[in-house]
Chains A and B, each alone.
Chain A
Amino acid sequence: MSVEGTCPVCEAEVNLKEDVLVSEIFSCPDCHSILVVDSIYDHQVSLKEAPAIEEDWGQ
């Protein structure tokens, strides 16, 4: 059985393995955004976009 969540970037449904842990990081299968598991409750996960380092080539 898997746990389910929604990508906060593209709203794709995301299925994760049952033993997924809070703070675990993975890629959205649809938009490839890097996501982090924020909380888990009753086979539903709440997902957040993982903090990213801004690219700065000078502006």
Chain B
Amino acid sequence: MKNDKLEVTVIGGSGYVGGELLRLLLRHPGVRISQVTSRKFVNLDVSLLHPNLRGVTDLKFSNPDEVRHSDLIFLALPNGESMNSMEKWLSLSEKVIDLGADFRLKDAAEWQHWYGKEHVLPDWLSRFVYGLPEIYRREIKSARYVAGPGCEAAVSILCLYPFIKNNIIKSHPIIIDAKMSSSQAGSKASWASHHPERAGAIRSYKPTNHRHQAEIEQAFRPFSGEVAVSISATAVEMVRGILVTIHAFLDKEIGEKEIRAILKKEYGNEPFVRIIKMNRGLYRYPEPKILQGTNFCDLGFELENRTSRLVIIGAIDNLVKGAAGNAVQCLNLMSGFPEETGLEFTGLHPV
């Protein structure tokens, strides 16, 4: 702590998640960013890559090999990179929040199954707390090491949690139809992100066996035993945001009023979860368009009695509640700040 501010370091600050972390942390009253690293852009202005921060900061990217001690380190690295350097980061900070996938799963064999290689630090998997405050708030408050959820997993878990915990739906099938934005693919250009190929696409890119199924199922084990979720992911014409439409089937008869009561019980005091099911206006169900830049997760539902189908609809900004904003929420819990600090942005309309 310097001048009563928490000193934080952002490792991997040149990507989209890193940029969002900087945007949020630069306006956080209890935090000072001491270092932002990027091996590729050393000594260049942060605002060169994140032009929305022009005039807000004169930070420059530093070399990840020259990182000094700080109170908390955020890791915003590509999947598979943080486990290779984690021992170094642990020696440089009391607390670490990893936004990548390396420490989300508890079981090394399961991690290897989904990520296709052996985990470098299997003994450390159990030491990371899964960083979704609405479900694991108590654990995050006392945690030193937090693994931020995948964006698609975060919104799906928040949608399903009240229904699985309260035994409303069958443990399978649970089908998650996810519409994904282009920023989820990261800031590195690829053939798939080439404008003529990506623009206007409605591309079914992962109809089965999506990796996030593993962390969603893991998150529910303490509440319900085994559940089986199936994700079908489609890339759509959107830069930010995720919309999930989840199809589940009722395990018992239930009406809309009872569902509303359950959602109120589980989320009534949550600062970032809103129940959206309106009978008027244009935005009657959750929609990612109006969540851009916010830390909200909007959740709605509809019952189809004829088939006992429950449709749960969830929306987030993948870069905020799905990554950087959620990580700042974890920082607030870990550091004793009010949970909403730095996350007050309400979004834009129209946008």
Contacts and interface: CB of A to CB of B under 8 A. Distances in A.
A24 interface: no
A13 B346 CA distance: 28
B277 interface: yes
B260 interface: yes
A49 B278 CA distance: 11
B261 A33 contact: no
A43 interface: no
B280 A9 contact: no
B279 A52 contact: yes
A9 B256 contact: yes
B306 interface: no
Contacts of B282: 55
Nearest to B258: A11
Among B256, B278, B284: residue with most chain A CB under 10 A: B278
Contact of B280 (A10, A11, A30, A52): A52
Among B257, B261, B275, B279: residue with most chain A CB under 10 A: B279
A31 interface: yes
B88 interface: no
A31 B277 contact: yes
Contacts, number: 25
A30 B278 CA distance: 12
Interface string A18-59: 000000000000111110000000000000010011010000
Nearest to B279: A52
Interface residues of A, number: 12
B134 to A, nearest CB: 19
Contacts of A53: 280
B264 interface: yes
A32 B298 CA distance: 14
A30 B260 CA distance: 10
B280 A31 contact: no
A9 B277 CA distance: 11
B257 A32 contact: no
Nearest to B268: A30
Contacts of B264: 10, 30
Interface in B244-293: 256-257, 260-261, 264, 275, 277-280, 282, 284
Given A9-B256, A55-B284, A49 B261 contact: no
Contacts of A9: 256-257, 260
A16 B224 CA distance: 41
5 smallest CB-CB distances across A and B, nearest first, come from A52-B279, A10-B260, A52-B280, A11-B257, A34-B280
